[in-house]
A and B are shown apart, each in its own frame.
Chain A
Amino acid sequence: MTDVKELIQAKVKCIGAKREALMPILQAIVEEKNYLNEEDMIQVAEALDLSTADVYGTATFYTFLDTVPRGKYVIRVCKTISCHMAGKDEIVDTLKDLLKVDLGETTPDKNFTLMQANCMGWCHKGPVMLVNDDIYTELTKDKVIKIIHDYMGS
């Protein structure tokens, strides 16, 4: 476990303790440990002298800043209109079937979390999904099964 306090201090040292530092710090924490918990957000508030509600508001605005624990692999299927029309529902159903979880849930082995997200800028190649930072485009049912099996194997 990394020490979030140290991480925050290091960030503050290089970018300062102004409000602008909020996003980079939150991103750094999520990068490090996948999500932000209550204690993390309190520490960020303290470091930047912001209210905790303010930090929480910012964290919950961005889909990529999670405030609940997530699995090792976070799958985000694009739900915006192009991907929707290109058949994202089938992709979501396939994933639900495969992982035996609903949207927003994490598998019991804590390996996968299934979520939806807004447009990722790959509209011309929908439907698309992200697994952590990796993008998968022009998905089909078979492609999804293969991708997930690869992750399960790894």
Chain B
Amino acid sequence: MGKFEVNLKINNIPVTVEEGTTILDAAKKLNFRIPTLCHHSDLCVAGNCRVCVVEQKGAKALPAACATPVSEGMDISTNSAQVRTARRHVIELLLSEHRSECTSCYKNGKCELQDLANEYRVNETTFMKLVENKGYTIDDFSPSIIKDDSKCIRCQRCVRTCTEMQSVSALAVVNKGEHQKIATFMNKPMHSVVCTNCGQCVTHCPTGALIEKNYIDQVWDVINNPELHVVVQTAPAVRIGLGESLDLSPGNRVTGKMVSALRRLGFDSVLDTDFTADLTILEEGTELLTRLKKALVDKDTETALPMTTSCSPGWVKFIEHKYPELLPNVSTCKSPQQMFGALAKTFYAQKKGLKAEKVVSISIMPCTAKKYEANRPEMRDSGFQDVDYVLTTRELAMMIRQAGIEFASLPNEKYDSIMGDSSGAAVIFGATGGVMEAALRTAYEIVTGREVPFENLDILPVRGLEGVKEAKVLIENVKPEWGFLEGAELSCAIAHGLANAKILMDKVKSGEMSYHFIEIMACPGGCLGGGGQPIPVNNEIREARMKAIYEEDSSLKIRKSHENPEVIALYEQFLGEPLGHKSHELLHTHYTGRKKY
């Protein structure tokens, strides 16, 4: 069922493309780049900025390349004098309402608007500057995100992201005409509305209007304080993303270089969130098996199934708002970041002979919601704030630049001990389906004493970018103590991106589908596509990062969480057993229902 083909000319070069292709994509095929602002390949077409205009022979107006499909015989010019003037005026008009203070702007050097202003050699004086009359506001109350209306060009990428990809719609276009702006309900601060802090709007904003709240200076301060012992943990997805912010192409694994860089920045101990990802698997896997036992054997009606994962703080806040009635279904396990934080100021401090109040714990995360998570009042079980500062992958890259470290030529170094060991199962936490795969590798083996029946331990059905995935695992020949699971089929589902999470959870809620275990990641692609990861992001980049994650997994000797030697030692020396008393105290938490609308 082939689509019709359309022949046209772009800059006098003939090209044939499928019907329905936009002028933008047809030009791309010929390696002509047309500038865009409101367009993003993750989102539906908006066509509101007009910076992508081209000239079409015979047409009166200049069509917008991102919103105009090709037609037979079209004769397009992407770079005529008229086109260039029109584009320059579009940019100048945007800038007339824009607080162009690039030198002090967080996005300086990484801003799509700035790039275009540079490319089109804009003239400051073509249009009157209106910034002074605008009464712009800055919202920096959220621990995760800063929203600065004076940098906003109203391209609405954030609104479409929050609605289409995340089904949250915390942001909307309000007012009209000259007063139009992007706002929350009643212009409330972002931290007080249904926003999940996922940061997808941040990774999709072309300017400095939505940025992460950065804690770089605070982190330099603690590093420079000789009184303090500063430990840093790095999330699984950072090691396959960081390179992009330091001039490497997507899909580069830079684990060893990242570790060297962190050491050179002056952290006292460079440790791995992967360690607590493995720990999470033991706690969460045991929790799942316990829930299954309670529900199937003890016929306990209080036990909620399916159990969902809890490591994505954007997801946690989403379910707290949208499905408060399903909170008993969420695993009580803290996320790996928070397990790490709680152990850093207890177990780690004891082992190293440090006073807990002298230990500062920093985490490097692909995520903006982690900043919020670290600030939750529940996350102080060590007696202190368990994680003091959370930096995104982008902020770490910025520190590496500030320190003048030439990243690409760094040697590969190893994590410190203790709490630096990782299994492949922990690494794949960074990809959608990864937590499920890691949990299955361990739970199956606990119950049957054998490895999961997938070649090379690769559970392929749970991998990939499909929005909602399902998998079934038959459990046979179990160990005697797990007799009640003999012949059972464990039914699992996975969703990434909150819009997909909503599709899945609606089905669970209505009873249309029933599962035992559900993995949800707030961000499309999982953490590898997190709101704190390098910008830009699109599916091609997500695929490259995903490939790198699974390569990292395959490259490791230990690929199952329960075989992580430091995790085994942790249970022997400190925790006792999964779901034991100490675990409950330090590694588990509870959730709070929040307003739905």
- Given the interface contacts A46-B596, A46-B597, A61-B174, does A56 sit within 8 Å of B186 by beta carbon? yes
Which residues from 175 to 210 on chain B have a C-beta closer than 8 Å to any C-beta of chain A?
175-176, 183-186, 193-194
| Surface stretch bound by A, among B112-120, B164-172, B263-271, B571-579 | B164-172
- Given the interface contacts A51-B194, A52-B193, A53-B183, does A42 sit within 8 Å of B597 by beta carbon? yes
| Number of residue pairs A-B, CB distance < 8 angstroms | 52
In angstroms, how far is the closest chain A Cβ from the Cβ of B321?
10
Residues of B within 8 A of A56 (CB): 172, 174, 183, 185-186
- Given the interface contacts A38-B186, A51-B168, A52-B185, does A60 sit within 8 Å of B597 by beta carbon? no
Which residues from 57 to 96 on chain A have a C-beta closer than 8 Å to any C-beta of chain B?
57, 60-61, 67
Main secondary structure of the interface of A (DSSP, over half): helix
B173 near A51: Cβ-Cβ < 8 Å: no
B173 near A57: Cβ-Cβ < 8 Å: yes
Residues of A within 8 A of B194 (CB): 51-52
* Residues 25-57 of chain A, each 1 if its beta carbon lies under 8 Å from chain B, else 0: 000000000000010011001100011111111
Give the number of residues in A that approach B within 8 Å (Cβ atoms). 16
Give the number of residues in B that approach A within 8 Å (Cβ atoms). 18
Q: Of all chain A residues, which has the CB nearest B170?
A: A53
B170 near A51: Cβ-Cβ < 8 Å: yes
Distance, CA A52 to CA B596, complexed state (A): 10
Choose among B163, B174, B184 the residue that contacts A60 (Cβ–Cβ < 8 A): B174
Residues of B within 8 A of A50 (CB): 169
Distance, CA A51 to CA B194, complexed state (A): 9
Residues of B within 8 A of A53 (CB): 169-172, 174, 183-185, 193
In angstroms, how far is the closest chain B Cβ from the Cβ of A25?
15
Distance, CA A60 to CA B194, complexed state (A): 19
Residues of A within 8 A of B174 (CB): 53, 56-57, 60-61
A61 near B596: Cβ-Cβ < 8 Å: no
In angstroms, how far is the closest chain A Cβ from the Cβ of B22?
27
Q: Of all chain B residues, which has the CB nearest A62?
A: B176
Q: Of all chain B residues, which has the CB nearest A55?
A: B185
Distance, CA A91 to CA B184, complexed state (A): 35
Distance, CA A61 to CA B180, complexed state (A): 8
Residues of B within 8 A of A46 (CB): 596-597
Distance, CA A38 to CA B173, complexed state (A): 17
Which residues from 134 to 179 on chain B have a C-beta closer than 8 Å to any C-beta of chain A?
163, 168-176
Residues of B that sit less than 8 Å from A by CB? 163, 168-176, 183-186, 193-194, 596-597
20 A-B pairs, CB-CB below 8 angstroms? A38-B185, A38-B186, A46-B597, A51-B163, A51-B169, A51-B185, A51-B194, A52-B185, A52-B193, A53-B170, A53-B171, A53-B174, A53-B184, A54-B163, A56-B172, A56-B183, A56-B186, A60-B174, A60-B175, A67-B186
